[in-house]
Structure 1
């Protein structure tokens, strides 16, 4: 694997190179760039899997570089490294798909945790990409796979191609085109018992049967973006909305699946297909999830012209709730976020995806900060997909309830961890007392030694052992005294001195009070 480190400060690049556990993760080559322009050249030449990038750099800054990577090399996992603890940069990083966000000076442990996560995510996604590109296990699937690959290439080309090459697939040249997107979400896959290939095969059979009858377009599995079937229309443009509605209703009637669909703008040549696709994608993620709509086909962009709301704006309230440590403290924050994000009865898919991205970022950072293990899928669209019912309606109540459960689980893990730490500290204090029972150990000494307040030590020790510390020391001393009285010829005053009493009369008094008889009587019984 290849890593690229982009930063205008040489010592930062050298620091990351020094701190990273590269061999452990199979990284064999590390390239460096001092700005975004150098980085784009290296990325085009070497195609690195992992990229560390600063945000403030000369020539091309981190924001522009992230945007370029998203459009030109989206399979790379990008880790933003910056000295500016500013949510503005964090939002930009999230928007352009960065894996994580690190602050300078870089903590070695967090760096390597983040590196491990990025490498594992890249490997999982690469495996998925290979699966989608080499699918062919079902009967007669070779031609569809070839079609999907070739038409994906056509979609992604901005230089124009010989459209005659695609005639064998059923693609027809035209003066105008428009692109439609069908979202194949998790509930659709589950309708086919989790068989992703069978789901796409069946959906495309329905799609292309209708398109062939109308002689107006072709559908294929778009390999560049997980979970999408793309349709290229070349005719009957005034009927396209109705044709999509017919496809939607046919899929629902035949297989009881609801696949939301969207339409892009009309373009004049095949080299501009990506422009129409981007418009369709914009329409798809801009649709209002709160709008009751039986046939989920969207042909125009409806999202209000205002910025998306950010979960980062609620960090102070989240921090206060975190300090309280109880899930009830989060309820007010959760309800406020819900009310704000669904203002005017509008909630777009794009808004939910942004929320999920920011939620995952905050959640993962909280787990890392508290050194708790976390295994969460980073497939944001997949996580959101699971909250659509069989009719394609977004289950907002269930989504909110799931977030509450996840926060509650985190708080329970925190309490369990705190309880474990408390237990360990009290055990350490007990060992300290066992080792120092023969001298006058004060509560203040223990407090200073373990960096814990006297009140806390006193309360927790009493809870754990059911006695206070002074009585516990006395018990240790008496146990030791009884052993010495039975098994040695030492004088009583010598034994008293050995276990921490300078006054043997006081020792005799304490011994009788605790044991019930005098030291001499106890020794006498031991000789019988």
Structure 2
């Protein structure tokens, strides 16, 4: 994954590490689990070898426990972001977590929303740090401070996130308004004396996001870049335009005059984003008849998400009535029944094969109310989920 931030999980119980991996919205947050460790000693070795940016660690472990580990991490790796978890509401642990600047302290069994909220805060902090130093993938190359005040940078990051979310929603009207708000921010915060390369870097940042989105939808991203006359280089040097090859630097410099001010840039970006959305919608309509195997594949990828007949119909640009009839005729069960069956099969796998508790399996498959999960599970398989565990079932 491009620009993936690395996460290390430290816990002496394999099933607990599995729960963390299963509950995290890794792809959506731009994170990835790169390693696991069973105790503090293994954890320190893994940190040295893998260089993660985020560590999720349990507190009670054999050998070097969480308290000792946090103290050492605070001394040796002060920039690491830490998420602490424990099955015991112990003041000593909480105190050490606070002293070690942990992002959050989570009690087991983990709540998916709390875990992902903590991971989201970690991702936002890493993005803030990258933006401050103009890291590659954020603003194209390293620059001095982009905004006069840190608050300006924070507002820019929020605008950036909102625009990307609206692009995923394919909402051109709201995108136009969001780019207008971005223009107002840049006019307030970007100094008139700033090097024009900074404005170009911001523009390229948004073009790269658009290119990635278009490519995922089957639209050639390079055509967008050519239309904007802003070539994107996958291997752009990180330390400034001076280190670029001569031909690359010439193309870069020739682009600087295209956007003379934030208004010109945001207007052009808004037009490109809207045109891309129109192209994607036209491509989807041009497929002709509804491809039910495409629908089935979409559900197989997203059945753990809060999908509904209405949301899937919107995704494939058909009426929900047509989708309902066509899907049942093709698959032999309703779309809702198909999603429920996939969730229950996943829950059975989590409980029986992976040793996850019934409560956590229910939450992971979209059923926060345990009683309702029991009813749906028993209706699907004819026996309650506890029978997968027998007397050793953990709830």
TM-score bracket, normalised by the shorter chain, equals 0.3 to 0.5
TM-score normalised to the size of structure 1? 0.28
| Structure with more relative contact order (C-alpha pairs < 8 Å, separation 6 or more) | 2
TM-score normalised to the size of structure 2? 0.35
Look at both structures and tell me which one has the larger radius of gyration over its CA atoms: 1
